[in-house]
């Protein structure tokens, strides 16, 4: 090893040690010296209490209904979807076209055993975030191809919320031409983009009610192109269902009963404790900074956007003064009707509350969610202890948020002597990843593989959890580490 590489690894080790200090649940993963294949298998080595298995039946029922609606009454058998046993889902991805290296890799890392099999494996089901705006860190209004942005949305649509976007076209060719950017691509790249647009335009959207449904169809159909043709025959299907719709359907049933989820809304004493205990946790709420929302988002009248709600007395009131008349009384039947009519949808507090902390679904996470889910678990335990809810406390103690699958780049290509991280359409263009590539990656030491993404993890943690006076000034980036760990490319 060169002196330069040794210095880079030494600096990487320093930031890993600080990661261990401020995010122990992430830090301990850097000591997992097993193959990536063995790590993936370990994600399913858990045994939830019988009560959680019972509660998960509702989630299985709602997922089955949605999948049949989108892909046909025979979809469960045809797509090889298996919901038997305890549930574990990737909950870190955004509901958008396959694109970002940090996200496309999660479906491989979470399911290594389903690849390169002699017969078709069971489907991979992802519970994705369906309220993200088109213009987010992982999308930027569309997708990336050969280092350039390809817009699916116009700038006027960039603040839309996916949950409220109606069915639409995906004419990125027209948008590139209107922006006078079509000529940025050479003739081969243009031919590729035209072919991709023709494919997307030709998918069957007849069972789709909205944009999110269309994305589920697009992901299912484009996923195989990430791999060379000889792999595709036995490739597991990839099915994305939005967490907002899934949890909305669950809440319509759950809120008729007395449980820890309904108490958050309808028991004023319990609700006050929840609001106070979860304040400041990333993705919950921080009222003085106008962050997050209390329990639900409200539909913005006439737009594909949403309104932030904060608790006032026994109502959730829009923070936008113009829409005070859209306050939501915390009345059981009112909430259920608004959920049925898609006038409100659950926040991440409610989503994780239902899926992970009420039903015990094992979350396969990113390095952001693996951190804040642990903080949410601690806040839940504090709340349950306050009200002497001993049985729920014991159940919730068993919930673990230690299964990291997202935020880790997996696909690289050497170009002009340097490793390049590949986006989905870069891989489509090249014809897909080979079996040999996957076999080699699956044998990598997980701790070494993880270390490539340590810089990106640290950047995230340092903005939210590491005191400014302790934040390191880094001289390395993830590309430096990829050159060392993926030196076989």
Q: What is the pLDDT of residue 93?
A: 87
Cα separation of 375 and 287, whole Å?
18
Angle (CA) 393 396 397, round 5°: 85
Average pLDDT over residues 50-78: 98
Average pLDDT over residues 178-198: 98
Q: What is the pLDDT of residue 324?
A: 96
- Predicted structure pTM score: 0.96
Check residue 325 and report its DSSP letter. G
Write out pLDDT tens, residues 73-110.
Answer: 999 999 999 999 999 999 988 999 999 999 999 999 99
Q: What is the pLDDT of residue 357?
A: 98
Average pLDDT over residues 20-29: 92
Query: What average pLDDT is seen over the chain?
Result: 96
Domain boundaries, the chain: 1-33+447-489, 36-283+362-444
Phi and psi of 388, rounded to 5°?
55, 40
Between helix 243-254 and helix 332-340 the angle, nearest 10°, is 150
**Share of the chain residues as helix, strand and coil, in percent rounded to the nearest 5:** 50, 15, 35
Given a cut of 90, whether residue 440 has pLDDT beyond it is: yes
Q: What is the pLDDT of residue 401?
A: 86
Q: What is the pLDDT of residue 447?
A: 95
Given a cut of 80, whether residue 1 has pLDDT beyond it is: no
Q: What is the pLDDT of residue 57?
A: 98
Check residue 148 and report its DSSP letter. E
Write out pLDDT tens, residues 203-248.
Answer: 999 999 999 999 999 999 999 999 999 999 999 999 999 999 999 9
Token duo for residue 50: 């019988």
Q: What is the pLDDT of residue 157?
A: 94
Write out pLDDT tens, residues 128-174.
Answer: 999 989 988 889 899 999 999 999 999 999 899 999 999 999 999 99
The secondary structure of 386-417 as a DSSP string is HTT-HHHHHHHHT----EE-SS----EEEETT
């Amino acid at each position: 090893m060169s002196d330069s590489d040794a210095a880079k690894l030494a600096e990487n080790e320093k930031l890993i040690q600080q990661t261990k200090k401020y995010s122990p649940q992430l830090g301990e993963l850097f000591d997992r010296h097993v193959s990536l294949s063995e790590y993936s298998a370990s994600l399913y080595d858990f045994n939830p209490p019988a009560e959680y298995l019972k509660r998960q039946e509702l989630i299985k029922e709602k997922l089955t209904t949605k999948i049949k609606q989108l892909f046909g009454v025979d979809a469960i058998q045809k797509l090889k979807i298996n919901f038997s046993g305890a549930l574990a889902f990737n909950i870190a991805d955004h509901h958008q076209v396959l694109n970002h290296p940090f996200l496309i890799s999660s479906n491989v890392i979470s399911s290594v055993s389903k690849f390169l099999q002699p017969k078709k494996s069971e489907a991979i089901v992802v519970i994705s975030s369906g309220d993200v705006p088109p213009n987010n860190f992982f999308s930027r209004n569309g997708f990336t191809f050969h280092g350039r942005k390809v817009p699916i949305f116009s700038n006027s649509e960039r603040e839309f919320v996916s949950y409220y976007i109606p069915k639409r076209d995906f004419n990125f060719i027209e948008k590139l031409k209107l922006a006078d950017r079509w000529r940025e691509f050479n003739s081969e790249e243009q031919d590729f983009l035209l072919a991709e647009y023709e494919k997307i335009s030709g998918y069957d959207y007849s069972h789709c009610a909205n944009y999110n449904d269309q994305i589920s169809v697009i992901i299912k159909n484009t996923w195989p192109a990430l791999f060379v043709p000889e792999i595709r025959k036995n490739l597991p299907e990839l099915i994305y269902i939005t967490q907002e719709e899934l949890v909305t359907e669950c809440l319509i049933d759950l809120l008729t009963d007395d449980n820890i989820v309904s108490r958050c809304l309808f028991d004023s004493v319990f609700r006050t404790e929840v609001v106070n205990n979860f304040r400041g946790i990333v993705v919950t709420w921080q009222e003085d900074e106008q962050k997050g929302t209390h329990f639900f988002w409200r539909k913005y009248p006439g737009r594909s956007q949403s309104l932030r709600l904060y608790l006032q007395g026994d109502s959730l009131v829009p923070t936008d003064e113009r829409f005070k008349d859209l306050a939501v009384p915390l009345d059981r039947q009112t909430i259920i009707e608004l959920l049925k009519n898609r006038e409100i949808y659950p926040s991440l507090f409610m989503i994780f509350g239902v899926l992970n902390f009420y039903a015990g679904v094992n979350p396969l996470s990113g390095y952001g969610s693996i951190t804040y889910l642990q903080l949410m678990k601690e806040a839940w335990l504090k709340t349950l202890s306050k009200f002497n809810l001993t049985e729920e406390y014991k159940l919730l103690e068993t919930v673990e948020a230690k299964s990291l699958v997202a935020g880790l780049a997996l696909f690289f290509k050497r170009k002009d002597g340097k490793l390049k991280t590949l986006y989905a359409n870069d891989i489509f263009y090249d014809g897909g990843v080979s079996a040999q590539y996957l076999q080699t990656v699956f044998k990598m030491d997980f701790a070494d593989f993880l270390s490539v993404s340590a810089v990106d993890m640290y950047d995230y943690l340092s903005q939210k959890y590491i005191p400014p006076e302790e934040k390191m000034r880094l001289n390395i980036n993830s590309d430096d580490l990829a050159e060392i760990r993926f030196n076989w490319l």
